[in-house]
């Protein structure tokens, strides 16, 4: 898949290092506000092709991505994801029409499929964990929109959770709350596991809404400081 160069890169007079530095200096609240207005045009794609901007695995795409990039994960097939750490602001989206079209599988023996240590967004993806958790949130503001999180049935179900957050920050004022660690979940199916959410830090589950259909249960909730 060919990816057009971003317009700002053609017009900018400053160096790439200074651009990345400026993005890294933005607080999490500002980055998530920017993400909410951006169209998900991929800067990186994951397919089995050797083309510029296209990578064979999620791990290599994350490693090559710059802060603020969008990674589009191709539909069809299985994408292996085990303990992939994401330490910069990124948006990961599935390329299919539905989240079922793009599946990430975390094999047994791994703590999680994806581990987040920065402000990120996950959209239109299925993440399946054979054991452990689908998503591990360490820090930053994580947004999960229109996804499916599945924990496969096994004799050790009590160790499986869709989302685990270990974020533990000091009490923050209302002025800084928008830039603190949190998880926001919307329009997301959660299946299997002992619990949908496990918190071992200072965050707590809040504002839970559920819609039950014949085929599934769809969740909206936040995990944040009280």
**pLDDT band at 26, cuts 50/70/90?**
low
**What pLDDT, on the 0 to 100 scale, is given for residue 144?**
97
- Percent of the residues in the chain that have a pLDDT greater than 70, as a whole number: 69
**What pLDDT, on the 0 to 100 scale, is given for residue 2?**
42
User: pTM of the full predicted structure?
Assistant: 0.75
How far apart (Å, rounded) are the C-alpha atoms in residues 96 and 17?
A: 33
Residue 94 pLDDT > 90? yes
Closest of 103, 92, 121, 116 to residue 184, by C-alpha? 121
Higher pLDDT, 36 or 110: 110
How far apart (Å, rounded) are the C-alpha atoms in residues 142 and 118?
A: 8
Residue 195 contacts residue 158 (beta carbons within 8 Å): no
pLDDT tens per residue across span 46-60: 555 556 678 889 999
Burial bucket for residue 27 (CB in 10 Å: 0-12, 13-18, 19+): middle
Residue 73: CB partners within 8 Å, gap ≥ 6?
45, 46, 58, 79, 92, 93, 94, 95, 102, 104, 125
Q: What is the mean pLDDT of residues 83-100?
A: 95
Residue 200 pLDDT > 90? no
Window from 125-134, 163-172, 195-204 with minimum mean pLDDT: 163-172
Task: Write the DSSP symbol of residue 192.
Answer: S
């Amino acid at each position: 898949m060919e990816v057009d160069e971003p317009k700002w890169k053609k017009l900018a007079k400053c160096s790439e290092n200074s651009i990345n530095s400026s993005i890294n200096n933005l607080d999490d609240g500002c980055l998530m506000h920017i993400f909410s207005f951006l169209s998900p045009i991929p800067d990186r794609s994951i397919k089995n092709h050797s083309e510029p901007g296209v990578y064979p695995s999620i791990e290599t795409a994350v490693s090559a991505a710059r802060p603020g990039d969008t990674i589009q994960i191709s539909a069809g097939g299985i994408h292996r994801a085990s303990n992939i750490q994401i330490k910069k602001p990124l948006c990961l989206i599935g390329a299919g029409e539905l989240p079922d079209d793009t599946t990430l599988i975390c094999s047994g023996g791994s703590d999680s499929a994806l581990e987040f240590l920065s402000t990120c967004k996950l959209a239109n993806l299925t993440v399946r964990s054979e054991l452990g958790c689908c998503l591990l949130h360490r820090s930053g503001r994580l947004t999960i929109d229109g996804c499916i999180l599945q924990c496969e049935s096994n004799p050790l179900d009590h160790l499986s959770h869709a989302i685990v957050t270990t974020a533990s920050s000091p009490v923050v004022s209302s002025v800084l709350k928008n830039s603190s660690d949190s998880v926001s979940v919307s329009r997301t199916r959660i299946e299997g596991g002992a619990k949908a959410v496990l918190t071992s830090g200072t965050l707590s589950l809040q504002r839970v809404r559920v819609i039950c259909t014949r085929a599934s249960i769809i969740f909206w909730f936040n995990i944040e400081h009280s």
